[in-house]
Amino acid sequence: MHAYRAALLNFADDGSARYEEDGLLVVGPDAAGRKVIRAAGAYGALAANYPGIAVTHLPGRILAPGFIDLHVHFPQTDVIGSPAEGLLPWLEDYTFPHEARFADHAYAVEMAEVFLDELLRNGVTSALAFCTSHPHSVDALMEASERRGLRMMAGKVLQDRHSPDGVRDDTEQSLLDTEALIRRWHGRSRLGYAITPRFAPSCSEAQLRGAGDLAASHPDVWIQSHVAENKEEIRWARELFPAARSYLSIYQDFGLMRERAIYAHCIHFDDEDRALMRDTGAAAAVSPTSNLFLGSGFFDYEGALRVGFRFGLASDVGGGTSFSPFHTMLAAYYVGREGQTKPGISLGPQHLWWQHTAGAAEALGLSGVIGNLRPGCEADFLVLDPQATPLLARKVRNARNLDELLFSLIVLGDDRVVEQVVVDGVSTSRGGASAA
């Protein structure tokens, strides 16, 4: 067992943050031998329960849950910052040609390491990731994640139509590949598989039906796709599936809406769509930097909260412009605030942070497993340095309460704040790895 003494940030069941100025976090094996949080609370109250335990004292630092990225494309790491008229030209001109390069297995292996380095330097310890349509792109990401002890969920993209040579897959083979990948990776180490139809316009009815059948026979695998991101995309989806009530209901018609189904964007929804999300237990991966960059629109937080479906935050790199959860939380604040096309609301900093940690875990069906620092949670956490930059240090010094402290970090923070990342109980600082 090992303990860390520093300020401590975690989340209550209602999503509000708890902050312990002088906290103690005790990490050790559970009955099954997994590295978990054994205790978290005030140093003064807990320390006497752990006599003789080795304590790493980190004055001035904050221990916080590792961030969770609910939607990210590992093969689009180098697509970041590719401007286009909108989603569909961006896919045609940049994304599909780039993803075609992953036909080369060695390139996929190389990019998996680049991607995981970026996630970790930004404090992201778990993600739900798209790979490419090439099955070995999944092997590359899973092998690299397993070596680093990460809890990672990912899947091979399904796209058997309206896709260029080099990324388009074959209907029957794509489903066989998906099934083989589920068997190879789902539940191994800390890895999970996600059935990944790219979006309805890129999938034939047969492919969507096959994906739905696989989802029914593997109820604990994840499902990930895109929906209602862009007006052109929606028009196209409605044309291709004229019998569906809405773009979202296409997925429902093929058995692709349930718990552990995560839909990126969910911008252009009506209340029936919102109710369908709520009633099926599906969740939205809100991707504000991507939506602002591609001019897609603004996620309607008021609608989501009013109807009551699950959501959490995501980078959506490479539509998204940053791996940093701080940048994503700030962009989510801007998007929530926008009040010309939808009701504008001012999201509180505790709620923004929750959306990228405990809230994202809830969306994934992983509450109590990741995204929080409460007893029983896996030992994925961050050591944050709130003095990392001069301006941040000034703001934090002057903060009068937790909201002011967290908002300072959200507005001014980035990878410089992330001093150490602990994954499965093993710490990686800028200097290298050491066991906790």
Q: Binding residues for Zn ion, per CB under 5 A?
A: 264, 316
Q: Give 319 or 386: the residue with its C-beta nearer to Zn ion.
A: 319
Q: Is 169 in the site for ligand GUN (CB under 6 A)?
A: no
Applying CB under 6 A, the span of 52-60, 87-95, 361-369, 381-389 interacting with ligand GUN comes to 87-95
Q: Is 229 in the site for ligand GUN (CB under 6 A)?
A: yes
Site mask for ligand GUN (CB under 6 A), range 244-283, x = bound? ----------------------------------------
Q: Give 84 or 411: the residue with its C-beta nearer to ligand GUN.
A: 84
From the list Zn ion, ligand GUN, none, which binds 171 (C-beta under 5 to 8 Å, kind-based)? none
Q: Is 316 in the site for ligand GUN (CB under 6 A)?
A: yes
Q: Within 13 Å and on the Cβ side, how many CA atoms surround 170?
A: 4
User: In the bound complex, what is the minimum distance in angstroms from residue 360's beta carbon to ligand GUN?
Assistant: 18
From the list ligand GUN, Zn ion, none, which binds 215 (C-beta under 5 to 8 Å, kind-based)? none
In the chain, the largest separation of any two C-alpha atoms, in whole Å, equals 68
373 in Cβ contact with 63 (< 8 Å): yes
Name the residue with tokens 């600082």. 429
Q: Give 132 or 372: the residue with its C-beta nearer to ligand GUN.
A: 132
Phi/psi class of residue 237: alpha, beta or left (left: φ > 0; alpha: ψ in -120 to 50)? alpha
**Cα–Cα dist 361/50, whole Å:** 29
Q: Give 8 or 157: the residue with its C-beta nearer to ligand GUN.
A: 157
From the list Zn ion, ligand GUN, none, which binds 274 (C-beta under 5 to 8 Å, kind-based)? none
Residue 65: count of CB within 10 angstroms of its CB = 29
Written as one letter, the residue type at 52 is G
Contact residue for ligand GUN among 7, 91, 158, 317 (CB under 6 A)? 91
Q: Is 87 in the site for ligand GUN (CB under 6 A)?
A: yes
User: Of the candidates 285, 329, 289, 314, which has an alpha carbon nearest to the alpha carbon of residue 69?
Assistant: 314
User: In the bound complex, what is the minimum distance in angstroms from residue 258's beta carbon to Zn ion?
Assistant: 20
Site residue total, ligand GUN (CB under 6 A) = 11
User: In the bound complex, what is the minimum distance in angstroms from residue 95's beta carbon to Zn ion?
Assistant: 9
User: In the bound complex, what is the minimum distance in angstroms from residue 76's beta carbon to Zn ion?
Assistant: 8
From the list Zn ion, ligand GUN, none, which binds 46 (C-beta under 5 to 8 Å, kind-based)? none
Q: At what angle do helices 105-121 and 135-147 cross, to 10 degrees?
A: 40
Name the residue with tokens 């489903």. 175
399 in Cβ contact with 353 (< 8 Å): no
User: In the bound complex, what is the minimum distance in angstroms from residue 43's beta carbon to ligand GUN?
Assistant: 44
SS3 content of the chain, % helix, strand, coil (to 5): 40, 25, 35
Q: Give 194 or 264: the residue with its C-beta nearer to Zn ion.
A: 264
Which residues inside 197-226 make contact with ligand GUN, applying CB under 6 A? 198-199, 226
From the list ligand GUN, Zn ion, none, which binds 91 (C-beta under 5 to 8 Å, kind-based)? ligand GUN
Find the residue with minimal CB distance to ligand GUN: 319
User: Of the candidates 246, 358, 227, 348, which has an alpha carbon nearest to the alpha carbon of residue 291?
Assistant: 227
Q: Is 134 in the site for ligand GUN (CB under 6 A)?
A: no
**Cα–Cα dist 244/236, whole Å:** 12
β-strand 261-265 against 418-423: which pairing, if any? unpaired
**Cα–Cα dist 83/294, whole Å:** 7
Q: Is 321 in the site for ligand GUN (CB under 6 A)?
A: no
User: In the bound complex, what is the minimum distance in angstroms from residue 338's beta carbon to ligand GUN?
Assistant: 19
Q: Give 73 or 327: the residue with its C-beta nearer to ligand GUN.
A: 73
Contact residue for ligand GUN among 5, 35, 61, 73 (CB under 6 A)? 73
**Cα–Cα dist 403/414, whole Å:** 18
In the structure encoding, which two tokens stand for residue 191, read together?
Answer: 């890895």
Extended beta strands in 306-366, E state: 310-313
**C-alpha radius of gyration, the chain, whole number:** 21
In the structure encoding, which two tokens stand for residue 378, read together?
Answer: 């896996």
84 in Cβ contact with 51 (< 8 Å): no
Residues that bind ligand GUN (CB under 6 A): 73, 87, 91, 95, 198-199, 226, 229, 290, 316, 319
